[in-house]
Amino acid sequence: MTLKTRNQFIKTFLFASLAIVALNLITFLFALKFGTILTPPDFRIPAFLSHIPFAKPSFIALMISFAVIILYVPFCFFLLIRYFENTQTSEIIFFTGFLFACLAETARFVTICLGLWQSFSNILIFMGNVVLFGRTLAPLSFLCAALLSETVQRQDIERNYIIMTTVSVVFAAVIPMNTARISSTGLVTEGFMSLINIMRFLLLATTVISFFIQGIKKNSSEHKILALSAFITLLGYSMLVSCDSFFFLISGTLALLAGSYRYLLCLHKMYMWS
């Protein structure tokens, strides 16, 4: 992928993300006018959160978390255009996959604003599939950045990106949705939830380990920083997408912003002279 093609790809994603921000704003205003916003049930995941004094559930915190995630995406795309326009790095392409995954959380936002979680419709199932797609793509994007960003693999980056996205789509399509169990964050719970959470943890662990191994092989401290930054970013992301309290809202926002900033800064320093 040439620099010109990559930059055009990122700019297209920037405009698409801004359009999604506008659509979500319109949906929210519509929901306010017609009173269709319905607070999700108090089913918290994991259940022990209900016993933590400083993690009391808050619908306001949940709604603010959507704003943080949705606005975070175009802001990051702007940074990619501003600071990586002339930087040849595959990691940036895979990072756009993570940003795309963040946008998938708008499906939960629409589910809450339009009160869809009270139904058992195909639309609700589709919204659950969209969220599952995003939550699969997010860790997979960093894993691909760790494993598939070598110079010899840059010719295959389009193929690898398509494979990464396709795997996420297929996984989201085959996992059944349990529309009878809606979490406090408006999430349509998945079947085999414990197995899926274990898989996400393994993806996260494999990503961090892969960056560390790259750092050891290349005697590069930057890759070790990437490992830590990727972990903090995904930790913040996980907190925000599971946010139903101000504790997770504040912690998740700080972790997501700090991790992303450190990750992108490290990539910029690694490749700015390349």
What pLDDT tens digit does each residue of the chain (274 aa) get?
677 777 888 889 999 999 999 999 999 999 999 989 988 988 877 666 767 777 788 999 999 999 999 999 999 999 998 888 777 788 899 999 999 999 999 999 999 999 888 887 889 999 999 999 999 999 999 999 988 877 666 678 888 999 999 999 999 999 998 888 899 899 998 888 888 888 888 988 998 898 888 878 877 788 889 999 999 999 999 999 999 999 999 999 999 999 999 999 998 888 765 5
**Farthest CA pair distance, the chain:** 59
Contact 263/141 with Cβ under 8 angstroms? Answer: no
Structure confidence at residue 191 (pLDDT): 80
pTM for the full predicted model: 0.93
As a whole number of angstroms, the distance between CA 69 and CA 246 comes to 15
Nearest CA to 250 out of 74, 54, 79, 53 is that of: 54
DSSP labels, the chain: --HHHHHHHHHHHHHHHHHHHHHHHHHHHHHHHHT---PPPS--SSGGGGG-GGG---HHHHHHHHHHHHHHHHHHHHHHHHHSTT---HHHHHHHHHHHHHHTTHHHHHHHHTTGGG---HHHHHHHHHHHHHHHHHHHHHHHHHHS-SGGGGGGHHHHHHHHHHHHHHHHHHSPEEEEEE-TTS-EEETTHHHHHHHHHHHHHHHHHHHHHHHHHHT-HHHHHHHHHHHHHHHHHHHHHT--SHHHHHHHHHHHHHHHHHHHHHHHHHHTT-
Q: What is the pLDDT of residue 18?
A: 95
Q: What is the pLDDT of residue 73?
A: 96
Predicted local distance difference test score (pLDDT) of residue 28: 95
Structure tokens belonging to residue 271? 């490749």
In the prediction, which pLDDT does 218 show?
A: 76
- CATH code, residues 3-38+59-271: 1.20.1070
